């Protein structure tokens, strides 16, 4: 029998079959797919084969994982040499960011976008809490919006506190499998409660003394949308470590750099100290945003295992 993984709790999984029945599942043995060394061999979004173990207790054993169409991963927060698969078989990703209470750094946004590019997942950025923005934050938002839209990313601006019908967001999510991510405290749970009122995802206030969010989601979980499609809610992330990319490949995951790579003098140009670098020249000419270039440099440095 076949099903989709809806929730992972580490050793047990909730899966849903084609008839809509939910099962409690565990793995049979050890799975290793495509040479991936990950802390979680089964991820939310995986299509799996299973055998019924105890029908009265709704317990089953997962016997096989079907080939993944794609997946999004990050560096494991516990084992830095391994990766953690955030979700698989997704159509698009939505990063919820805020510029206040708590602040999402452009570096975090860029790491998320690079990871989506790596696995050919269409990414969008949603800036929440606009009701809290003053002139300073609005100026930063407008600059970031212009930068990201100019290189092809959809940018959404809203305040979940003031949302009533979520009409625009529902159209974006309709009939898609969407990964929803962001720091703790940016409003993911409020967002889910808004489009799925019956779910009542847990929400917590931002910590007053630190200005940082408190974790409300421990494990990734998928929800069916009544208007078509699915969303995958992920645990709040403090950082987004990139794994699985070599230094010469990195610039190819920045759209504004990708279109200029052939103009560099050297094929293996890292765009740092090399002569005849089209990327550095584009930064000087203000054709590439300087902050995006700084993000590129910081990610490049982190690939050496340095702290980021």
247-302 CATH? 1.10.40.50
- What residue segments make up the domains of the chain, in order of their start? 2-65, 71-233, 247-302
**pLDDT at residue 209, as a whole number:** 31
Whole-number pLDDT of residue 201: 56
Q: Which CATH superfamily is domain 2-65 in?
A: Nucleic acid-binding proteins (2.40.50.140)
Q: What is the pLDDT of residue 80?
A: 59
| Prediction pTM value | 0.86
Backbone angles phi, psi at 200, to 5 degrees: 55, 55
pLDDT of residue 210: 32
CA 190: distance to chain centroid? 18
Q: If we measure between CA atoms, which residue out of 223, 228, 193 comes closest to residue 44? A: 223
Residues 6+ apart with CB under 8 A from 44: 5, 6, 7, 8, 87, 88, 220, 221, 222, 232
Block residue for tokens 């898609």: 176
The second-level CATH assignment, the architecture, of 71-233 is: 3-Layer(aba) Sandwich (3.40)
pLDDT along the chain (308 residues), means of 10: 91 92 86 59 93 87 93 72 84 96 93 94 96 94 97 95 86 97 90 83 42 48 95 79 88 97 96 97 97 96 62
């Amino acid at each position: 029998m076949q099903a989709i993984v809806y929730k992972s709790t580490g050793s047990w999984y909730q899966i849903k079959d084609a008839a809509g029945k939910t099962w409690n599942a565990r793995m049979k043995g050890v799975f290793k797919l495509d040479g991936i060394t990950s802390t979680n061999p089964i991820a939310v979004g995986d299509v799996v084969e299973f055998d019924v173990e105890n029908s009265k207790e709704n317990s089953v054993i997962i016997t096989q994982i079907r080939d993944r169409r794609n997946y999004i991963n990050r560096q494991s927060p516990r084992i830095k040499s391994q990766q953690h698969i955030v979700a698989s078989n997704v159509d698009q990703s939505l990063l919820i960011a805020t510029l206040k209470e708590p602040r999402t750094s452009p570096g975090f946004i860029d790491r998320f976008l690079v990871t989506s590019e790596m696995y050919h997942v269409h990414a969008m950025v949603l800036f929440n809490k606009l009701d809290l923005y003053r002139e300073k934050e609005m100026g930063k938002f407008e600059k970031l919006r212009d930068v990201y839209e100019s290189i092809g990313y959809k940018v959404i601006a809203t305040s979940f506190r003031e949302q009533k019908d979520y009409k625009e967001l529902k159209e974006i999510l309709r009939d898609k499998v969407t990964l929803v991510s962001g720091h703790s405290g940016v409003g993911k749970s409020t967002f889910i409660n808004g489009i799925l009122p019956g779910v009542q995802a847990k929400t917590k206030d931002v910590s007053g003394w630190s200005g940082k969010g408190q974790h409300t989601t421990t494990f990734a979980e998928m929800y069916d949308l009544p208007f078509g499609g699915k969303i995958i809610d992920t645990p709040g992330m403090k950082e987004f470590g990139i794994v699985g990319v070599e230094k010469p490949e990195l610039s190819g995951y920045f759209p504004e750099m990708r279109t200029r790579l052939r103009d560099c003098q050297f094929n293996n140009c890292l765009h740092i100290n090399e002569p005849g670098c089209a990327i550095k020249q584009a930064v000087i000419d203000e054709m590439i945003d300087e902050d995006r270039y700084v993000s590129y440099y910081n990610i490049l440095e982190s690939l050496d295992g340095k702290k980021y």
